[in-house]
Structure 1
Amino acid sequence: MSKEFEIVREFEVDAPPEEVWEAVTNGTGGYLWPMEAPEPRVGGTAAFGSTVTAWDPPHHLITRSENVGFSVQSLNQLEHTIEPRDGGRRAWVRYVHSGIFTDDWDNQYDGASKHTDFYLHTLREYLTHFAPRPVTFASLDGPERSTAADAFAAVGRALGLADGTASGERVRAHGPGGRALDAVLDYRDPYFIGLRTDHALIRFFGRNHWGAPVGISVHDFAPDADAKANELAWQGWLDGVFSQP
């Protein structure tokens, strides 16, 4: 049965409104993933066949898609409202994701809501530590075995994260090829893990909770970053996590 949904989040960030606007419109993959940047006008095209229905930089952006093409969704709208704080040195952001799910409503809403929190946290990490540096993006999914109910717990163990390690702590994580990663554990809950190194944001997605494989994205800001090398390295690491019975 089709049913509307709305996910609303508000937060402040240590970045001026112009930098927030640039981050959410440039489509580079600095905090989300590379996608078509919105055409800078009302009526313009945007990512995934959506249309710009509000364009007031750096304050207000709405993109809207009808007949989305996903089997479980028929309408999707994203709205960003950005206002200055502290004389323009900071920004207040209101984010609204709304639309219509046509099937599996509870599962779809739960996944979208929890992903929203993680993505917006990553936006704040990007703005605070890396913007406007160019980014090299890579993403990958685990094997079929990573859809198991306990799969994401195995990812935490493979990274060498003790159960009591909390967000904000510095860690020495176990990366590809046995390489140690000096990082800040910037996000951790049962569904997601975020690592921030001096040159990258590495994100781990427990999508097994919603019936999909575990995923990883790497937002690499090093001048010599290699997307394919990052993808291959982390794919080998993730496959290895689930290679044993």
Structure 2
Amino acid sequence: MTHPFEIELESTLPASPQQVWDAIATGPGIDSWFMGRNEVEPREGGTAAMDTGGHREESVVTAYEPGTRFATRTGTGEDGRFMAFEYLIEGRGQGSTVLRVVHSGLLGDDWEDEYDALRRGWPFHLHTLREYLTHFPGRTAVPVFALAMPPERSPREVTAALTRALSLPASMSAGTPVHAQPAGLPPLNGEVVWADDERFEIRTDDGLYAFHHGTGGPVLMFHHLFGADTDGAESAWQKWLTGLLA
């Protein structure tokens, strides 16, 4: 049995409508704040695709109105599930733009847990979009994805392992300074810009580093690297995460 849902959010962003459009309706733009590696065929009826760790999901572009409206819809599964995303852009004064996001569709029998996860995740994603447009305007990122399933560890133990490895205090919050040297990786020097019970994000001069944990499931990393030297970054971060949680 399927269950309809809709999540609607609005955010005022420190960017022009064109900058916001480039961030939400182009592959390199989406790579710079959302999840995975993305491709967008720039036309109504075109294909939008997201690849996370080799899992590719395709959608159809259902609206393509540059600078104003962009929408996509996944295919309908055998059980009737689908998801649709709509982004509405409105320019405001002093170089700001209002972005309205509508995420809707049909969820399956476990809809309550899935809906709750989606509802909790969107404020974080819009925060990352704001960080991108504020601190890395005019640039695009190389996305880094990593995943590891911690063996027989509680969410609290997983969180503790991550924070220790990154020299972070257990009670971190936005603004907490970061000076970390993860094994086999470049140093991270910056600050925490988001922290809740399930995820935290670090901003440095050359990247946004997001760590999703605390759910009792797999630990995920969605990083956005704006520096020049990104070769091998994804495999290095995957090796680090796998070793940390082994």
Q: 1:184 to 1:60 in 2, by over 3 A?
A: same
**Alpha-carbon shift at residue 214 of structure 1 (Å):** 0.2
- Matched residue of 2:19: which SS? helix
- Matched residue of 1:175: which SS? coil
Q: 1:98 to 1:153 in 2, by over 3 A?
A: farther
- Matched residue of 1:95: which SS? strand
| Structure 2 residue corresponding to 1:85, chosen from 88, 92, 95 | 92
**Alpha-carbon shift at residue 232 of structure 1 (Å):** 2.9
Separation in 2, partners of 1:173, 1:68: 43
Separation in 2, partners of 1:51, 1:177: 40
Amino acid of the structure 1 residue aligned with 2:159: F
Q: Deviations over 1:152-179 (max 9, x none)?
A: 3432232222133211232223423486
1:213 corresponds to: 218
Asked if the contact 2:185–2:237 (Cα under 8 Å) also holds between the matched residues in 1, the reply is no
Q: Deviations over 1:135-156 (max 9, x none)?
A: 2222111134277433234322
1:242 corresponds to: 245
Separation in 1, partners of 2:184, 2:27: 31
Asked if the contact 2:149–2:217 (Cα under 8 Å) also holds between the matched residues in 1, the reply is no
Percent of matched pairs sharing the same residue:
36
1:194 aligns with 2:198: no
1:223 aligns with 2:228: yes
1:115 corresponds to: 121
2:23 corresponds to: 23
| Structure 2 residue corresponding to 1:57, chosen from 51, 66, 82 | 66
Q: 1:25-174, aligned counterparts within 5 Å?
A: 25-28=25-28, 29-32=31-34, 33-37=36-40, 39-47=41-49, 48-68=57-77, 74-87=81-94, 89-145=95-151, 148-150=154-156, 151-174=158-181
Q: Could you tell me the TM-score, scaled by structure 2's length? A: 0.86
Asked if the contact 1:43–1:52 (Cα under 8 Å) also holds between the matched residues in 2, the reply is yes
- Matched residue of 2:115: which SS? helix
**Alpha-carbon shift at residue 45 of structure 1 (Å):** 2.5
Asked if the contact 2:83–2:104 (Cα under 8 Å) also holds between the matched residues in 1, the reply is yes
* Gapped regions of structure 1 (runs ≥ 5): none
Q: 1:170 to 1:117 in 2, by over 3 A?
A: same
Aligned alpha-carbon RMSD (Å): 2.2
Q: Could you tell me the TM-score, scaled by structure 1's length? A: 0.86
Q: 1:235 to 1:43 in 2, by over 3 A?
A: closer
The structure whose residues are more often helix, as a share, is 1
Q: 1:147 to 1:213 in 2, by over 3 A?
A: farther
